[in-house]
Amino acid sequence: MKKLTGVPISKGIAIGKAFLFLDADFPETPRFHIENNQIDEEWARFLVAVDEAKENVKSLRGVQKSGADERDDILNAHLLMLEDVEFHTQIKKRLERSLENIESAVWDVGREFYQMLMASPVSYLRERAVDIADVTKQILNILLNIKKRSLADLTEDVIVVTRELPPSEAVAMNKRHVKALVMGAGSQTSHTAILAKAFEIPAVFGISAIAEEVSQGDTLIVDGDSGAVILKPTAKKIEKYREIIAQASEKKVAQEALRDLPAETTDGFRVILNANIEFPEETEQALRYGAEGIGLYRSEFLFLNTGYAEEEEQFRAYADVLKAMKGKPVTVRTVDVGGDKIPLDIRVIEEKNPLLGLRAIRFSLAHPELFKAQLRAILRASVFGVVKIMFPLISGLTELDAALSMLEEAKKECRKKEQAFSSHIEVGCMIEIPAAAVIADILAEKSNFFSLGANDLVQYSLAVDRNNEQVSYLSQPFHPAIIRLIKRTIDEAHSAGIKAAMCGELAGDPRATLVLLGLGLDEFSMNASQIPLVKQIVRKASVEKCRALVKKILTCKTVKDVEIIMKEGGGQP
């Protein structure tokens, strides 16, 4: 037995046989000289291969209904790459200059594009390097007439083990038989990670030597909660994990029994539990777990995979979510791009400190036509349900006023085109910069609600990059300063007669539930799967005791002091 530890990507535990999938590796590419009179023939071969690759991508659209929106985003990105004029031009130039076969030209140009993206300081562009590699492999396999195995053809339950899973394979895999996924590479923001979460497949990434450690058919335990992968476990270890799986299943059944019950404390304090989503299809999961609405619809994923989405495409996506939620409120966060998330068709100046640069509302205000297109799309979709608009990364009243002014312009443009929209749309701002929390009383005068973005509030307040391993231990949501900023925001919201919500990871952290109740938070928005557990805690809690707990916590000077009081008060399960 051997235990390996990677990065937990998608929650859940699975026990099964390893399916070692190495067909994703680049094919061995021949290289030989051609004559000038063969250039046209080689180029024609390339165009035929591209057309076949495009047909293969299009055929995947109907592979499976689940994950349809995530799947289509990936496939659309691949189609754009296969049709990319610059990609084609560089390959043809290489073919004419080198006088070598088309396979070698495709290999060389694909590698150059890949290396260029991987060298970028922008993490999103580094993720797109995987797509370039995937498209290049697809073309080469067609040119070389190589028939690959596909995860779509699986006929038995397996745990897929691979160095790196191309997005095209992740889209096509038979998710009914893929019980877990273990990868040597990959990150939380990769296409494959997004799909694993959407499909609720346990996943662990970042075990670099996994393909060398595992043999075909080995028994594995994959713990997507902790990031552990156990190779050739003993019977005792398997039995232990089966008990954990059974307990989790029982707990899930008990929590799901609460789905239609209100999130109300024993002494009558009622809160709202909402879900965070990225894709329209996630509404199904949100409703299944008892979400009372969508507290955060991350709209940027409409733009990052295929370039900045047109107004009509955005309108359809928002309308789909509103229809699916059947009257339950949906809060759309205007696009949070910039920083380390750049749309493919927006050229920006490279920033030395992107997370302190042109991102979120700053990016939107710098691109007014794109911003108004998004606002018009949201307005038009509002006739299909209850929509709220939320502006991210607001730092002061000037930004909020500018965003509200853009919204009024968008309304005028809709009226001019006789496009209907709801007459009552709440508009709020995210409190995720310390400055915004400090002037929450001023921002509340022009807001219908606040939503605390706890992740960024912690990052900006404590000057900590949570993705930097050297300092990530300092990313402490229970730091006394964070608790005080949250309290100030909630108190100022209530003084102004508006509600305060939270949509960061802290809202779904069961350790924080009693503290947030005591602070007076009105709405919690989280990953849908966390809703039953948080509701369970709320329904067993007394808000009077939670307020007493917070009163003690506000006297604390260190994180350790806070954690001690939380443990004593039952705030840490």
Q: How many residues does the chain have?
A: 573
CA distance 535 to 547: 18
DSSP 43-74: HHHHHHHHHHHHHHHHHGGGS-STTHHHHHHH
Q: Give every CB contact of residue 222 below 8 A, 6+ residues apart in sequence.
A: 13, 14, 15, 159, 180, 181, 182, 202, 203, 204, 228, 229
191 a catalytic residue? yes
Residue 229 β-bridge partners: 4, 222
Residue of 414, 429, 503, 556 with catalytic role? 503
Closest CA to 484 of 396, 430, 548, 555: 555
Question: Are the C-beta atoms of 134 and 167 separated by less than 8 Å?
Answer: yes
Q: Indicate the SS3 state at residue 188.
A: coil
Residue 204 β-bridge partners: 8, 182
Question: Are the C-beta atoms of 211 and 20 separated by less than 8 Å?
Answer: yes
DSSP 407-418: HHHHHHHHHHTT
Q: Where are the alpha helices (DSSP H) in 326-360?
A: none
Burial class (CB in 10 A: 0-12, 13-18, 19+), 83: exposed
Closest CA to 27 of 84, 104, 117, 115: 104
Find tokens 């500018």 and name the residue.
402
User: In sequence order, what E strands does 281-436 have?
Assistant: 294-298, 330-333, 387-391, 426-431
The tokens for 357 are 């640069």
End-to-end CA distance of the chain: 31
CA distance 473 to 35: 60
E strand or H helix at 203, and its extent? Answer: strand 203-205
Residue 449 β-bridge partners: 428, 499
| Residue 156: HSE in the Cβ half-sphere, 13 Å Cα cutoff | 5
Residue of 191, 367, 479, 556 with catalytic role? 191
Closest CA to 198 of 131, 256, 274, 282: 282
177 a catalytic residue? no
Q: Where are the alpha helices (DSSP H) in 496-572?
A: 513-519, 531-540, 543-553, 559-568
| Residue 308: HSE in the Cβ half-sphere, 13 Å Cα cutoff | 20
- Other CB atoms within a 10 A radius of the CB of residue 471 amount to 13
Question: Are the C-beta atoms of 221 and 15 separated by less than 8 Å?
Answer: yes
CA distance 179 to 222: 9
CA of residue 561 relative to chain centroid, distance: 33
Q: Give the chain's radius of gyration (CA, Å).
A: 25
The tokens for 429 are 């701002």
Burial class (CB in 10 A: 0-12, 13-18, 19+), 176: exposed
E strand or H helix at 377, and its extent? Answer: helix 368-381
Q: Which residues are catalytic?
A: 191, 503
